[in-house]
Amino acid sequence: MKTLDEFIVEKQAEYPHAKGALTGILSSIRLVAKIIHRDINRAGLTNNILGISGVENIQGETQMKLDIFAHETMKKALMAREEVAGFASEEEENFVVFDTERGRNAKYIILTDPLDGSSNIDVNVAVGTIFSIYRRISPIGTPVTLEDFMQPGNRQVAAGYVVYGSSTMLVYTTGNGVNGFTYDPSLGVFCLSHENIQIPHSGKYYSINEGQYLKFPQGVKKYIKYCQEEDKQTQRPYTSRYIGSLVSDFHRNMLKGGIYIYPQATTYPQGKLRLLYEGNPMAFIAEQAGGIASDGQQRILDIQPTALHQRTPLFIGSKEMVEKAQSFMRDYPE
């Protein structure tokens, strides 16, 4: 069976401009995934991993202990790479400049949600790591600037996620399709298990926090009712499945067919998910697998970021289902 390392080397010829840089970055992310996998799998046995940290992040959310651990692990791993010039995380207010000679000469920046769905950790529910890679646009030889991190998602060089569930799986794209690698802990390697993943054109799952129903826009309410109506021609009603972890919900829908929705609401009018750490990387993966991603009105990857922790609504998954949801948003704009 082909390992992640073998696959990356095999595909490296497709990106001659990278000269092995992406290989090194992905190797660091692979290492981080193995470390987080190890600690998640023994979380119930150690007192210093589970529970809240008592600290809030920049979004005003209480950080879990494992949030901080994953963030620091990712930062240290990327700082050790000569290919990375800077780093931004959902868990840190400002971007981090790797202001060393090799950092100033590096060509890539990384954005990440180190531990998506971390509130599920204490109850042993699947969580994930999301990452996004861009080529810097500031001059080589200088420290990176905010402008490097404010690029629209359509400029991503690579993106991916790791889902820590019944098995640990790393899924990524470099703009030439999506491939998934399952971790074999007995060998300590990720092996190619899902080659050229394609999201079904339509599906039977819809994923949304229906407990917030009264706070949703009218278009979202109408779409939920549409999903629940019986129609044999369109194989409705659809089945509601919501884990509360973007990575886990999206991963299921990508393999089985479905839509994930985290819309704006009266309590978060701009949406709740982060454009740079969640929306853009997951949208890139979705499109490369044949799906689409929207904020309900426009393509996620075309949005020009204006803030490091900018929020966005997200409609993502099977093409037919997302397009239908968008039509409801157009027909019921209020």
**Residues contributing to the annotated binding site for substrate:** 116-119, 209, 242, 272
Short-list 273, 275, 323, 272, CA closest to 303: 275
One DSSP character per residue, 262-275 reads: E--BTTBTT-SEEI
Q: Are strands 258-262 and 292-294 parallel, antiparallel or unpaired?
A: unpaired
User: What are the binding residues?
Assistant: 90, 113, 115-119, 209, 242, 272, 278
Binding residues for Mg(2+): 90, 113, 115-116, 278
For 258, the token pair is: 């479905």
Helix axes 246-256, 280-288, angle to 10 degrees: 10
d(CA 119, CA 52): 9
Exposed, middle or buried, 45 (CB in 10 Å: 0-12/13-18/19+)? exposed
- The CA angle 256-116-165, to the nearest 5 degrees, is 50
Which residues, at least 6 apart from 269, have a Cβ–Cβ distance to it below 8 Å?
A: none
